[in-house]
């Protein structure tokens, strides 16, 4: 069993391009997560992921909640993030929306896994194979290479 776990904000979703996203999140407004546009072609990403699923990969997401957290706000953020994934990347079969700042590997069911993340510190903390997602097309190219290396 092997898996690829994606981060969301800054990797798949353009949260940081939403006007006043930070101020709004701090005010417990979950909607910037909904308004975030995909950072690149989801059609191309889905095509690569379909191939990887055929090769036996599980596709998962492990994403942090907002910094400012409360029980009700966290619940809304989870709903909105899951809605975004359902709309843009329905092949995600394992999804963890976890407390801001916590190590991501802890939550992933499959340990033989690659983390796709735009945050260099998070990639370092993963202690395993990672793909840098700071450039969406670069990330796509890395995923495509996985299809041929297998």
Residues that bind Mg ion in the complex, under the rule CB under 5 A: 7, 9-10, 118-119
Cα–Cα distance measured from residue 127 to residue 83, given in angstroms and rounded to the nearest whole number: 30
Q: Which residue is nearest to Mg ion (CB)?
A: 10
Q: Which residue, 58 or 119, has its beta carbon nearer to Mg ion?
A: 119
- In the bound complex, what is the minimum distance in angstroms from residue 141's beta carbon to Mg ion? 19
Q: Which residue, 10 or 14, has its beta carbon nearer to Mg ion?
A: 10
- In the bound complex, what is the minimum distance in angstroms from residue 63's beta carbon to Mg ion? 8
CA atoms lying within 13 Å on the CB side of residue 124: 3
- In the bound complex, what is the minimum distance in angstroms from residue 11's beta carbon to Mg ion? 5
């Amino acid at each position: 069993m092997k898996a690829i776990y994606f981060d969301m904000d800054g990797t798949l979703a353009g949260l940081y391009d939403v006007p006043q996203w930070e101020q709004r999140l701090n005010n417990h407004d979950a909607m910037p997560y909904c308004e975030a546009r995909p950072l690149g072609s989801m059609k191309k990403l889905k095509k690569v992921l379909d191939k990887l699923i055929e090769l036996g990969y599980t596709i998962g997401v492990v994403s942090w909640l907002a910094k400012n957290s409360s029980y009700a706000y966290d619940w809304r953020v989870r709903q909105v993030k899951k809605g975004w994934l359902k709309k843009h990347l329905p092949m995600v079969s394992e999804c963890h929306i976890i407390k801001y700042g916590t190590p991501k590997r802890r939550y992933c069911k499959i340990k033989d896994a690659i983390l796709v993340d735009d945050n260099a510190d998070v990639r370092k903390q993963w202690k395993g194979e990672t793909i840098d997602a700071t450039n969406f097309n670069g990330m796509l190219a890395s995923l495509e290479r996985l299809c041929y290396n297998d």
